[in-house]
Homo-oligomer: A and B are copies of this chain.
């Protein structure tokens, strides 16, 4: 993830002249993954683009995106751009909500992340709820995030794209009241706001966030059995997280309380905890997470280890008991460039 390219402008710039750079970084991995029933190969090769500049007046500005998301980044649905100065930092694009920016996630395990089951759900800012490696939440992009740091404190405020361009999640379910019917449930976001604050010093940190979405739930079907209905309501979360380092050992914990309007179904709560022991090139991580939203409690836990071979190469592996009770595992080499 380091900057790896030299800008011509930087090399030939006379002192005091602002310059703008484009740099590339990359990552790759290869190994095997056991998905609960089959053993498969897994590999990937990626690159990231980082743009950075500084105005004559000392404002920093830039952006970044993944090369495989270049199409979405060109329309603000992936990647992000920012301007920062003494006033703080404003980012726009596929940015986190303020609650996630302040609280984050506990540590995960494995070569591939193993469905990232260590992660809690954020109402704003792209979380993978059902562990299928694709974001499920309905935060409309381009979203905006403001960050301000003073001493040990950081403050965050976020908003999804105002009404008119909100993204929506569609769920297709075959069957339904009439045989052959296809029912579509669409959850769309209207107004989305979030705030957060974080304190970090001496190896300890505490983060607190609040986030809310004005959501609409619409049900329709192909056979017209349902009268299309739209249920309006609010989904909100108060979430708190903390981390502490004790020598080579780091512990992290997060608790979130989600409340929804009655019309959208009940809320729930979620928590996750991780412990990571790191000494020299070796690190070992364990996590436990429990998400109880609407449809009952679902817990997951996992254990993983990584060994750093230097130069960007490391060996990683993990084993996780997922929310359906299956054991999934992976092992391989991870590379960063």
CA distance A38 to B191 in the complex (A): 13
Q: Is the CB–CB distance between A44 and B74 below 8 Å?
A: yes
Q: Is the CB–CB distance between B41 and A70 below 8 Å?
A: no
Taking CB atoms, residues of chain B closer than 8 Å to A54 are 311
Contact code string A99-119 (vs B, CB < 8 Å = 1, else 0): 000000000000000000000
Distance of A27 from chain B, by nearest CB (Å):
8
Q: Is the CB–CB distance between A29 and B81 below 8 Å?
A: yes
Q: Is the CB–CB distance between A312 and B92 below 8 Å?
A: no
Contact code string A285-324 (vs B, CB < 8 Å = 1, else 0): 0000000000000000000000001111100000000000
Taking CB atoms, residues of chain B closer than 8 Å to A45 are 49, 51, 63-65, 73-74, 76, 79-81, 93
Q: Is the CB–CB distance between B5 and A5 below 8 Å?
A: yes
Q: Does A172 contact B (CB under 8 A)?
A: no
Taking CB atoms, residues of chain B closer than 8 Å to A31 are 92
Q: Is the CB–CB distance between B333 and A61 below 8 Å?
A: yes
Q: Among B41, B83, B337, which residue has its beta carbon within 8 angstroms of that of A30?
A: B83
Q: Does A56 contact B (CB under 8 A)?
A: yes
Distance of A145 from chain B, by nearest CB (Å):
11
B-contacting residues of A (Cβ < 8 Å)? Answer: 2-9, 11, 18-31, 35, 37-47, 49, 51-57, 59, 61-68, 70-71, 73-76, 79-83, 90-93, 142-144, 161-165, 309-313, 333, 335-337
